[in-house]
Structure 1
C-alpha cells in the first residue's frame, strides 16, 4: 500500500472579510504567519474595496468601452451591481474595442505597499510572498456580455486583463509575487448549468459539449493568461464551483472535472504551476468524491490544496474529509497536500475571520 501523504500548509483563496488590505495582512499574520505546522507562503490582500464580490465590479470597465451598451431593460441588481448584459451597439467594430484600466493592477500596487511596510516592521514573516488573484477572462465576459457577442468581445477583454498582469509584474519583484488565476465560470460551462441567462454555450470551442474537448479548450484560455506570469514568480490556480451565499452553483458529483482541468492546465503550460486549489463540499466525506484524485497527474512541484475546511464542523469535519483524500492522493503518488476553505470567505461575517484562520492551524496540527 502506498504511503499516505502528509498534510502541511494552508492556502488562502483570496477574499477575506476585512475593511482594508492592512487589516487583512495583520489578522492573517497574527493567526497563521510563522505558526509551526501552518506554513503560509503567500498572503492575499483580502480583495477589499470594490473587489469584495469577486468580478462584479468589472461591470464599470465594460460600461466605459465605446461600442458596448447595456440592453434596454430594467437593471438587474446583485450585491449592488447591475448585471444587465452588454451588447455590441454597432458604433465601433469589435476588433477596435478598447478597455481602459480594469483596476487589478492599481489595487495590487496599493496593497503591495502596505504588504512590504508590514513585512519590514516584522508583522508579516520574512520570505512571505504577496498573492494577487485574477479571474480568467472567461468569467467577466460571460457575466457581462450577451451570449451572441461574447466571442467578439472576448479578445479585447482578454488583452486588457493580460495588460493588467503585465503591469503587476512590472511593479512587484518576481521573487515577491504569487499570481492566482481563478477558474469558476469554467465549471458552469462544464456542468452545463445556467448562471442566470440560460444554460451556457461554449463560444470558444468547436468541440461542442464533448467533455474532453471542452476541458482542453477551457484550459487553453486560462493558459494564455497564466503563461504571462514571469519566471521567478509563483503561479497557482483556484478551481471553483462558485460561492454565492456560501453555496455552489451546482454541487460537483465528485472531483473528476476538477482533476481533469488541473491536469489539462499542467499539460498545456510550459512553466511550473506552484499550487492548485480544489473545493470539497462539506457533506462529502465519502471515498467516491475523492476517488478521481487518484488520477492527479501534476508533477511533485505542484502542491494541491483541498478546500476542506468548513467553519460549521471544524477540526473533526476536516479530518473526516482528509482521510479519504489521503487514500486517493496516495494512489497518484502525491506525498504532501495542503488545506484551505472551499472559496474565499470575504462575504461571510467579519467576526468569523480570526477563528477560521486559527482553524486552519488546528486542522494541520490534528492531521499530523
Structure 2
C-alpha cells in the first residue's frame, strides 16, 4: 500500500523525557499524574536538585576522587555547579582510581520513596512505572574528561555508573521500574562536531563505537525492568548543538542499537525540531528498523507553538511513520522558562486527547 494513502498509525500516548522545571520530585510526579496519568506508562522525578542541567554536576563529583584534577584554575559556574572538565593527575593510573558515588542511585532511591507513597495513595495510577534517566558513559567521558585521558578513564567511569545502576536495581522493585539511557554526545560525534584538529571520541569507528557502547548499557538492565533510550541533539538554552538535517542518522543509530542489544528495547525517543513539519525530515523514519514491540516517541511538542504546532508536526510524521507512536518534547523541559511547565503538560494532554487511555 502507498504510504501516502495508508491509514495513519494509531498513537500510543505520551512520554516524559526526564527533566521538568519543578523544584522537587513530589511536585513533578503529582503534576504528571494529574495531567497525563492515563497517557503515561512511566513517570520520572524531573531530575531535580543538582541534576537540573543533565550531567553538568558530574565533574564536581568526580573531582572529589584522589588522583583527579580540574582543568583550569578558576571555577566555571553554572548556578551552584563548577563545570570545569577533569584530568588524571600526573603519574596516576586510571585503573587505580576509586571514584566517589556519582549521585544517580541516591537521587533515584530518594525519589522512589516519594513515587511509591503517591502510587500507594492512588495519586499515581497503578501499573505506572518509576522512570530513572541515566547518561551514557560516552556522554560524561566525552564531555568532561581531558581528551588524552578518555580511553583510560572510560572503563573506570562505566564501572562506577554500573554500580549506581545496581544499587537502583537492588532497591526498586523491578516490575515498577524503567531505566532510560540518554544519548546526546553520541550525536555530536556522529555529526563530527568537534573543533578543528580535535575529536570527542577515543575510538575509530564512530557508528560501531557509539552504538555498541549504548547497547552494552541497555543489556545491563534486567529483562523484568523496562529500558528505553532518549536520542538527543542537545538542549542548551533550549537549542540543539546542531539541527538534524532529517531523521536519517537518528533512524540508523536506533536500528544499530536495537540490533546490537541482546535484550528487548522497550522504547525509543527522538527529537523533532520546531521548524520541521516537512516530509523531508520524517521520510527516513519509514525505514526505521526497530522491533514492533519497541514503542516510538517523537519529540514534536514545543512550548512556543503549542497544540497547533504539535499537530502540524504530527500530521507530517503520520505520513511516513509505519508504526504506532506517541508524543513528547524533543528533550526534557527542565530548562524551560518559568511559568511554561504547566502549559507544556496541557499541550501533551490536548494533542493526545483523541487517543484515549494508554
Q: Which residue of 2 aligns with 1:19?
A: 23
**What SS does structure 2 have at the residue aligned with 1:179?**
strand
Structure 1 position 107 matched with structure 2 position 107: yes
Query: Structure 1 residue 79: deviation in Å?
Result: 4.1
Structure 1 position 61 matched with structure 2 position 100: no
Structure 1 position 247 matched with structure 2 position 235: no
Any unmatched runs of 5+ in structure 2? none
Query: Structure 1 residue 103: deviation in Å?
Result: 0.6
Query: Structure 1 residue 258: deviation in Å?
Result: 0.7
- Per the alignment, do residues 204 and 221 of structure 1 end up closer, same or farther by CA in structure 2, a change over 3 Å counting? farther
Q: Which residue of 2 aligns with 1:6?
A: 10
**TM-score with structure 2 length normalisation?**
0.94
Q: Which residue of 2 aligns with 1:269?
A: 261
- Per the alignment, do residues 324 and 137 of structure 1 end up closer, same or farther by CA in structure 2, a change over 3 Å counting? same
**What SS does structure 1 have at the residue aligned with 2:230?**
strand
Query: Structure 1 residue 140: deviation in Å?
Result: 1.2
The one of 310, 313, 332 equivalent to 2:302 is 310
Structure 1 position 177 matched with structure 2 position 177: yes
Task: Render the CA deviation track for 1:162-190: whole Å, top value 9, x for unaligned.
Answer: 11111111111110000000000110111
Looking at structure 2, the residues matched to 230 and 67 of structure 1 have their Cα atoms a distance apart, in angstroms, of 33
Query: Structure 1 residue 349: deviation in Å?
Result: 2.8
Contact 2:85 2:146 in 1 (8 A): yes
Query: Structure 1 residue 318: deviation in Å?
Result: 1.1
4+ residue stretches of structure 1 with deviation over 4 A?
197-200
- Per the alignment, do residues 198 and 89 of structure 1 end up closer, same or farther by CA in structure 2, a change over 3 Å counting? farther
Looking at structure 2, the residues matched to 137 and 362 of structure 1 have their Cα atoms a distance apart, in angstroms, of 36
Query: Structure 1 residue 249: deviation in Å?
Result: 0.6
Looking at structure 1, the residues matched to 53 and 28 of structure 2 have their Cα atoms a distance apart, in angstroms, of 16
Contact 2:60 2:82 in 1 (8 A): no
**TM-score with structure 1 length normalisation?**
0.92
- Per the alignment, do residues 127 and 120 of structure 1 end up closer, same or farther by CA in structure 2, a change over 3 Å counting? same
**1:37-186 mapped onto 2 (5 Å cutoff):** 39-186=39-186
Any unmatched runs of 5+ in structure 1? 208-213
- Per the alignment, do residues 366 and 320 of structure 1 end up closer, same or farther by CA in structure 2, a change over 3 Å counting? farther
Q: Which residue of 2 aligns with 1:206?
A: 204
Looking at structure 2, the residues matched to 98 and 217 of structure 1 have their Cα atoms a distance apart, in angstroms, of 26
Looking at structure 2, the residues matched to 353 and 64 of structure 1 have their Cα atoms a distance apart, in angstroms, of 34
Contact 1:18 1:350 in 2 (8 A): no
Paired positions, count: 352
Looking at structure 2, the residues matched to 135 and 219 of structure 1 have their Cα atoms a distance apart, in angstroms, of 14
Contact 2:189 2:201 in 1 (8 A): no
Looking at structure 2, the residues matched to 135 and 83 of structure 1 have their Cα atoms a distance apart, in angstroms, of 16
- Per the alignment, do residues 61 and 364 of structure 1 end up closer, same or farther by CA in structure 2, a change over 3 Å counting? same
**1:327-338 mapped onto 2 (5 Å cutoff):** 327-330=319-322, 334=323, 336-338=324-326
Structure 1 position 189 matched with structure 2 position 181: no
Q: Which residue of 2 aligns with 1:363?
A: 351
Q: Which residue of 2 aligns with 1:210?
A: none
Task: Render the CA deviation track for 1:181-217: whole Å, top value 9, x for unaligned.
Answer: 00001101111114xx66752544223xxxxxx2221
Structure 1 position 221 matched with structure 2 position 195: no
